[in-house]
Structure 1
């Protein structure tokens, strides 16, 4: 066996994704919104495992903090819509949340609310993670970054911030954790580019122009956009429309399997 083949076989699945993320910007990567929840409840361990099994590049997960300081996956501040319980994540202990079951499209499932640690353990070495940090405290941010570092997963994650000015908070905690700032207009986009600190930015339809995002790409940053909603609902026609924005090279979707098959058919994915 030659040395190159040996090294390729020795690489963990996520290593190939990380290599594509940083070095093969011609590929469009697929991010599963709240993990792959086509069959299982969103932000659940089975939804994460399904994304891994299908060869999806990135999972997006929402992180909140319980009353007793445990980091858990939950999109909403309240649990009423997503579980068979009532109340707010921040007002309940992890033990209390574990007594509940997640819902999918209003139907109660067997799945339970996972901890952030459980999600990291399942994903380690297998898939990149977009951390949509929704907790309210700096202590929770510190705990989130520490857990990532303690598990040696800095290269495997992206820490998403809604305001690019908040990126400095994450970088002050751990400069090795890549941050993905969201931009809403041309001024914010150029501010992020000038800082030169990020491997990727999260753009919006309202601020996207090919010329502006060309500047981003020339700065060796990826451009993340969402297919959520209308684009996803239209299937391949919607994906065709989204890819008229020619500088996009990460797409977040509620239909990751369909998008991955579409991109591979077009020769736009490994």
Structure 2
């Protein structure tokens, strides 16, 4: 077992996995928290430890970034290079898994000034083994490898707790979802590259049947968040996901400003999934202000 392969078995007070999945599939259910690259405030982003800390902090989902090595392995790293996050340099696609294993991760969000840790770059399979029946996962940067990644989810028994996502055209998405055996979960992304999809959401949702829609919008008057678009999405029993890590993702209403006021504004718009860089702060806000029933959910033990 890896030195940094931590365990989350039977931690007291943590939201039960079955409750998380049940809430996700209930579009009228409680607001859900997504941890951005894991809890990087306590461990290197996209590390096994950051994922562990996110689970301890009661995240419902964890967003992770995936890259492929020269020899075909899938590892967690946001950047295409290892420069920012490790004591090495080079492009991941030009390095082998063995070469990556020799590197150590830098603390938090990396950079040359950050201290080195004893943590190493995890593989996607290690991550899925760690999170199985504990928390949901949102896969970022890996749509192009969906056919190769799906068998990893099958092998680890994590298909139904993992969200694929993309900005792709509906035909491409439909082919993938209906070609594989166990139907995967899917979240569509609306941003400036595919604004035309917003005007087609009724037909899109009927055809693709996504479980959630992530919207990245730079302006409050963006057509992506027009009331009729949000209403259409909700009518198809889809959850609405907003990113509040920085201003350009949510029309300046991020957690970098008045976080609580901005979270409240997004809730009023109808968003029911919030991605954050501060899981603990968002959890406290939802517990104390928006959703006191969350405390009861957290008393459920791991199934």
TM-score (norm 2): 0.78
Instruction: Choose which of 114, 125, 147 in structure 1 pairs with 2:133.
Output: 125
Instruction: Choose which of 164, 167, 174 in structure 2 pairs with 1:162.
Output: 167
Residue 111 in 1 paired to residue 123 in 2? no
Deviating above 3 A after TM superposition, structure 1's stretches of 4 or more consecutive aligned residues are 133-136, 188-191
Q: Could you list the runs of 5+ residues in structure 1 that have no partner in the other structure? A: 1-11
Residue 80 in 1 paired to residue 83 in 2? yes
d(CA) in 2 for partners of 1:176, 1:135: 15
Alignment partner of 1:84: what SS?
Answer: coil
CA positional deviation for 1:46 = 0.4
Contact 1:63 1:135 in 2 (8 A): no
Residue 232 of structure 1: aligned partner: 255
d(CA) in 2 for partners of 1:73, 1:202: 21
Contact 2:174 2:208 in 1 (8 A): no
Alignment of 1:1-270 (within 5 A): 13-23=16-26, 25-103=28-106, 104=108, 105-106=110-111, 107=114, 108-134=116-142, 136=144, 140-165=145-170, 166-171=172-177, 172-174=179-181, 176-184=183-191, 185=195, 186-205=198-217, 206=222, 207-230=224-247, 231-234=254-257, 235-245=259-269, 247-268=270-291, 270=294
Contact 1:64 1:135 in 2 (8 A): no
Contact 2:27 2:239 in 1 (8 A): no
d(CA) in 2 for partners of 1:194, 1:61: 28
CA positional deviation for 1:196 = 4.7
Structure number with higher relative contact order (C-alpha < 8 Å, ≥ 6 residues apart): 2
d(CA) in 2 for partners of 1:175, 1:195: 18
For the aligned residue pairs, the C-alpha RMSD in angstroms reads: 2.0
Contact 1:32 1:256 in 2 (8 A): yes
TM-score (norm 1): 0.87
Q: What are the Cα deviations for residues 231-270 of structure 1, in whole angstroms up to 9, with x where unaligned?
A: 111222332333342x100011111111111112123363
Contact 1:196 1:219 in 2 (8 A): no
Contact 2:199 2:229 in 1 (8 A): no
d(CA) in 1 for partners of 2:260, 2:158: 34
Q: What are the Cα deviations for residues 153-195 of structure 1, in whole angstroms up to 9, with x where unaligned?
A: 1111111113244423531335511111112332253442232
CA positional deviation for 1:212 = 1.7
Change (3 A) 1:170 1:84: farther
Q: What are the Cα deviations for residues 117-153 of structure 1, in whole angstroms up to 9, with x where unaligned?
A: 11001100100000113375xxx42221001012221
d(CA) in 1 for partners of 2:39, 2:59: 9
Alignment partner of 1:239: what SS?
Answer: helix
d(CA) in 2 for partners of 1:135, 1:100: 26
